[in-house]
Amino acid sequence: MSDTIITRADDLPEPKELAEAYELELQSQNGRSIRFGELVAGKGAQITTIDYVRVVSRRLTNFVLSTLPNPTGPSQLIIIGCGDSQRIVPYVSETAAAFPIYTDRTGKIYKKLLMKRTTSHITQPPSYAQVSFFGALGKTFGQMFRSGWQAFRGGSWSQNGGEWVFRGGKSFYVHRMEHVSDHLTADRLLEVLSLDEPAQTK
């Protein structure tokens, strides 16, 4: 067993908060609206949702995606980001993401599920990053230059996300990012998925 720290059960959203979040709308890459609850509620599959921030951290999210295994068995992995839905196609092109992607243009889901806003550690790439901060920054500005004004529709720089696991439509595990370099990687997600019930925080 690794030293993964599992979020305490009391850090899970209250049923009322989760029910309200289920009613909020996301957009697909073609701009079609879908309720968040349609993606997770009432399904027996384990669903891991990875929320990401834009620009510098978006590039770092590419390294997170590269560590994730393809879902197997009764499971699926969904990516939810912030910003305009028109940014999904360029994001897929830049990251070669193989998972369904949706966006929360208003940021209401992030707020409802108590995900943080901070730029802390923005100059400190995480262990899963393969380039330095300045290398990632240069690539990000290159992406922004090629995208023109569309680059400024990708969501807030400070919005952090995290990793969420749902079982049967209920929240099973939550990891809210403490800073922009705080995504979980595949080995930790796999450990979470192997649990019968969430462990207490160590």
Q: SS3 letters for 93-152?
A: HHHCCCCCEEEECCCHHHHHCCCCECCCCCCCCCCCCCCCHHHHHHHHHHHHHHHHHHHH
pLDDT of residue 22: 92
Question: What long-range pairs does 128-133 form, CB within 8 A, spacing at least 24?
Answer: 128/60, 128/63, 128/64, 128/67, 128/183, 128/185, 129/60, 129/63, 129/181, 130/63, 133/56
Whichever domain contains 32, its CATH number is: 3.40.30.10
Cα Rg of the chain, angstroms:
16
Task: Please tell me the least confidently modeled range out of 78-92, 128-142, 185-199.
Answer: 128-142
Flag whether 3 is in a domain.
no
- Count Cβ neighbours within 10 Å for each residue of 29-58 and write b for 16 or more, e otherwise: beeeeeebbebbbeeeebbbbbbbbbbbbb
- Residue that wins the pLDDT comparison between 150 and 17: 17
Flag whether 198 is in a domain.
no
Flag whether 85 is in a domain.
yes
- Say whether pLDDT at 59 is over 50: no
- Residue that wins the pLDDT comparison between 100 and 148: 100
- Say whether pLDDT at 1 is over 60: no
pLDDT tens digits, 22-51: 999 999 888 899 999 988 876 666 666 655
Q: Tell me which residue range forms the domain holding 111.
A: 9-193
Flag whether 51 is in a domain.
yes
Check: pTM over 0.75? Answer yes or no: no
pLDDT tens digits, 12-24: 888 898 899 999 9
pLDDT of residue 55: 35
Structural domain total, the chain = 1
Flag whether 145 is in a domain.
yes
Flag whether 81 is in a domain.
yes
Flag whether 147 is in a domain.
yes
- Residue that wins the pLDDT comparison between 121 and 3: 121
pLDDT tens digits, 152-190: 455 565 677 788 888 877 888 888 888 777 767 777 777
Mean of pLDDT values over 62-74: 57
- Residue that wins the pLDDT comparison between 147 and 186: 186
pLDDT tens digits, 85-96: 777 777 777 766
Structure tokens, 23? 């009613």
State the chain's mean pLDDT as an integer. 69
Nearest to 171 by CA among 19, 2, 5: 19
Flag whether 2 is in a domain.
no
